[in-house]
Amino acid sequence: MTDKLGIHQEAVGKAIRLLDAAGAVYAIQFNDEILGTLEVKPPRKKASSSQYAYGETRSHYLPYIENLEVGGSASVPFSYFDRKILSSNISAYCVHKWGAGSAMVKRNNTTDSLEVLRFA
């Protein structure tokens, strides 16, 4: 196992010499050690997209749009849902169910709802 570590150590050393020769700024984490001059920040945590319980938005909008025929339209109230999240989820459902370009989803701030029009 120490031979394997030795070859890895040698490979990292060679990589560092190449980076230095090229004038690169880098940071390498190897054997619990950070090598190089590049400041490494911890990865940003992805914002939680699960603001609602699994299936919560779907159970809200599905009764309004699941039986839409071609040429049909429906109005889905925002209720307490975030407008962008609800719109995105409805759009994704339409693409999955009927195909890309098969429906249009538009906010209607006057009626506090999302209008869904099925094309195909």
- Note down the domain range covering 105: 56-118
Say yes or no: 109 and 71 in one domain: yes
Say yes or no: 65 and 110 in one domain: yes
CA–CA separation, 90 and 103 (whole Å): 10
Q: Supply the pTM of this predicted model.
A: 0.60
pLDDT band at 1 (very low <50, low <70, confident <90, very high): very low
Say yes or no: 21 and 70 in one domain: no
Q: Establish if 66 belongs to a structural domain.
A: yes
Q: Tokens in use for 11?
A: 């490979």
Average confidence (pLDDT) over 61-83: 95
CA–CA separation, 26 and 17 (whole Å): 11
Percent of the chain with pLDDT over 70: 91
Say yes or no: 63 and 26 in one domain: no
